[in-house]
Amino acid sequence: MDSLSPSSPNLDSNLLSQLEAALRAALQTSSSSPEPISSTPTPTELSSLLTLMSPSYSNRSNADLTLAFGKLALLMTSQLKLAQEQNQMLQNKLQNKSDRLQSNPQTSDDESLSSEQDKSENLLHENQILKGENDALRNEVRYIKEDFTDVNNLLKEQTLKHEANVQTLSITNRELTALKDENSMLTHIRENYLLRIDSLERQIRNAETECRHARLLQHEAEMESPKPPDPVKLWDDTSHPKPKDLDRIARNLSRFEPNLDDPGEIHAYLNDLKFFLERFPNASSRDKIYVIKASSSKQVSLFIDRQPLDIRDDFEALCKILIEEYCNKNEFETGYFAAHSITQAANERPGQYYNRLLKVYFGPKNEPMMEEEQFFKELFFKNLHSSTSRHLHAAVDPKKLSSRELRSFASRAFMLNDQSHRELVHQEVYAFDTRPPDDDLINDNETSSPFVTQKSV
């Protein structure tokens, strides 16, 4: 025991340090434990042991050390028991937890099974609902198929009716086409009859002309026989114009305004003046010149006043001077030659073309029977458009026909060409049922009409 004294050299300072640490741990455990174990040192005792075993403490003995080691052994034993109890407690807790863990999976399986059953029931319910909707849709599809079949049958019936209507309309169109052809043929026949009537009227007029000529010759023969002349009063008092008559004539005349661009105006003015003065055969030259001054511009009056007395008092001489002053003969000649270039347009009526040619050919000239000039008629016939002249027969001779007859034939030829053009357009639109007309009727029309008619193909 002496060898263990703190003063001996055999006592290791490291061992003392380990014992001090063990005591401190025991002291902390004892102070923290709620229920201290029996026969274990109290915290006060442990504190004294710690003081005793402190290396700085020098008043310790072997007995004290033995007691300290005993207390320490008891303390270690108590700590071991406490650790075993705590271990057992932890094992019990672990076993309880293990049991609970083993029992929980069954409970979760039951819960999942019940949830799966609920889901299955819901799915079955939804499946029943979907089956009901599917049956309803099938019934609706069946009804729709039945309606479609009915509509299809109705459409087939309407198609058959439409085809029947189309056939009926086609037959009606053919009948209408046949009626149009017949109408066209009758129109041609009527036109030919009208032409024959015109020819007969022309023959009647020629016969009347010959009769008038014969009566004129007979009258001249009767006049050649000597007969006492009947006392006839050539003039009466009313043939001499009064001032108001001259003023009335001046008001009725168109006022003459010299216009160099229209050289024919002077001729028309003088012709109208002579026409109004025919009612007064005893009118003097001064009366006639008075009317000229009253119905013309101041320029003309001044021109008359500038003339010599023998011309100023002579009506006929004054008319010649006025024509020479206000009419340019060179323009007449130019218009005469320009008439050769006047031709009928394709869509121009023969009457319009005739008036244009008449104005250019004769200019201001306006005399009776001037339209019967042979060269004028030949020029009119020559410059007709080809679409009009091709319908005229070769028997239409401008040398034998009057200008009026020639113009009438040209107008009818123009109408015939226009009608044939419209028929050609109809033939392009409609499918005509062409039927050849009666040959005897065609031959009769060709021999009696001055027009060249075209046969239907």
Q: According to the 3-state scheme, what is the secondary structure of 380-404?
A: HHHCCCHHHHCCECCCCCCCCCCHH
Burial (0-12, 13-18, 19+ Cβ within 10 Å), 22: middle
Q: Name all contacts of 19-27 with Cβ < 8 Å and 24+ positions apart.
A: 19/53, 19/68, 19/72, 20/50, 20/53, 20/54, 20/55, 22/72, 22/76, 23/49, 23/50, 23/53, 23/72, 24/50, 26/72, 26/75, 26/76, 26/79
Task: Using a cut of 0.75, tell me whether the model's pTM lies above it.
Answer: no
Kindly report each contact of residues 299-303 with a partner whose C-beta sits within 8 Å and lies 24 or more positions away, as own/partner: 299/258, 300/256, 300/258
Is residue 200 classed exposed, middle or buried when 0-12, 13-18 and 19+ CB atoms within 10 A define those classes? exposed
The pair of three-digit structure tokens given for residue 70, joined into one six-digit string: 């005993």
**Taking a C-beta distance cutoff of 8 angstroms, is the pair 278, 237 a contact?**
no
Each residue's pLDDT, cut to its tens digit, for the chain (457 residues) gives 444 444 444 444 555 566 666 666 655 655 555 444 444 556 666 666 666 666 555 555 666 666 666 777 777 777 778 877 877 888 888 888 777 777 765 555 566 677 778 878 888 888 888 888 888 888 888 888 887 888 888 888 888 999 999 989 989 988 998 899 888 888 888 888 898 898 888 889 888 888 877 777 777 776 665 454 444 444 444 567 888 888 888 888 888 888 766 666 888 888 888 888 888 888 888 899 899 999 998 888 898 888 888 888 899 999 888 888 887 655 555 566 777 888 888 889 988 889 888 888 877 677 778 888 888 888 888 888 888 888 776 667 888 888 888 888 888 888 888 887 777 655 554 444 455 544 444 444 444 445 554 444 3
DSSP, res 8: S
CA angle 99, 100, 106 (to 5 degrees): 100
Surface-to-core class of residue 267, CB atoms within 10 Å of its CB (0-12 exposed, 13-18 middle, 19+ buried): buried
Task: Give pLDDT, residue 457.
Answer: 35
**Distance between CA atoms of residues 329 and 327, nearest Å:** 6
> What pLDDT score does 45 carry?
63
- Cβ count near 227 (within 10 Å): 8
Task: Give me the numbers of helices (H) and strands (E) for the chain, helices first please.
Answer: 15, 0
Residue 183 to residue 346: CA distance in whole angstroms: 27
For 213-301, list the strands marked E by DSSP.
Answer: none
Decide: residue 329, CB within 10 A, 0-12 exposed, 13-18 middle, 19+ buried. exposed
Nearest Cα neighbor of 358 from 297, 403, 415 is: 403
Residue 65's CB: how many other CB atoms inside 10 A? 19
* Residue 282 DSSP one-character state: T
- Quick one: how far is CA 302 from the chain centroid? 68
Residue 10: predicted pLDDT: 42
Give residue 57's pLDDT.
Answer: 56
**C-beta separation of 83 from 57 below 8 A:** no
Please give the C-alpha separations between residue 336 and each of 65, 269, 325, 358, 365, in angstroms, as whole numbers: 178, 22, 20, 10, 11
Q: What is the pLDDT of residue 166?
A: 92
Two structure tokens written together for 227: 């007969």
Q: What letters, b where the CB count within 10 A reaches 16 and e where it falls short, cover 299-313?
A: ebeebbeebeeeebe
pLDDT value of residue 164: 92
Q: Are 305 and 259 in contact (CB under 8 A)?
A: no
